[in-house]
Structure 1
Amino acid sequence: MLPAGEVRIYLACGVTDMRKGFHSLAAQVQTSLLHDPCSGALYIFRGRRGDLIKILFWDRQGMCLYIKKADRGRFVWPQAKEGVVSMTMAQMSMLLESIDWRATAWTARPELVV
């Protein structure tokens, strides 16, 4: 379960190898993003195809890894090739629903209304 309340959330810009696990992603947070992976912040990574994201965070007892694969469409991501983007909990909620969190527009419209 993801933490509730005020928490810092960072998107790792660019493409991440989705074969990476806890240790490799934590090392990427330290070396590429220059952050402490045990700070309690959430770090979000996206694969090349854009239909898979991983969220790494420390819950004071251990490292947690949340993975989500989109059935249709892709997760909206910044154009930057490297660096980090800060976001709010509301923006992250939209990201997890495949909504364009930058403009609040749906990325995949329903094909059939019942």
Structure 2
Amino acid sequence: MITLPSGVRVWLACGHTDMRKGMDGLAMLAQQVLEEDPFSGALFAFRGKRGGLIKILWFDGQGMCLFSKRLEKGHFLWPTTNTGRVSLTAAQVSMLLEGIDWRMPPRVRRPELAG
């Protein structure tokens, strides 16, 4: 499990991305399409057309890191918006990477009686 730094911003690029892109191509997308600084320390997540592959770009202060994950079954749940980007919390990103529906996770049933 990868833990995220506290207070880190996470941006999802809505729609699908050409997964042949590497660090430089994804950094250009973060800068030009998402209108964010790829060297800010934020995480930028991109999903392929079929939905089973995700790439995350992150600048750690010394260099650019590129993480990827492929689900063997199913696909990553991805938003569709007009803005082209969505911001997620660290908890939502953790659920996303596990293949869980991060938009509406099941809530634990609240007890009716104490004791």
TM-score band (shorter)? 0.7 to 0.9
> 1:28-61 deviations in whole A, cap 9, x for unaligned?
0011011000000000000000000000010000
Cα offset, 1:10, TM superposition: 0.5
Cα offset, 1:79, TM superposition: 2.0
Unaligned runs of 5+ in 2: 107-115
Alignment coverage as a number of residue pairs: 105
For 1:82 and 1:52, how far apart are their aligned partners in 2? 22
Distance verdict in 2 for CA 1:2–1:61, change over 3 Å: farther
Contact kept in structure 1, 2:4 and 2:90, CA below 8 Å: no
Equivalent in the alignment of 1:109: none
Equivalent in the alignment of 2:86: 85
Equivalent in the alignment of 2:101: 100
Unaligned runs of 5+ in 1: 106-114
For 2:101 and 2:70, how far apart are their aligned partners in 1? 16
The root-mean-square deviation of aligned C-alpha atoms, in Å, is 1.4
Distance verdict in 2 for CA 1:16–1:96, change over 3 Å: same
Equivalent in the alignment of 1:7: 8
Identity of aligned residues (%): 55
Cα offset, 1:3, TM superposition: 3.7
TM-score of the aligned structures, taking structure 2 as reference length: 0.86
Q: Does 1:57 align with 2:58?
A: yes
**AA aligned opposite 2:42:** A
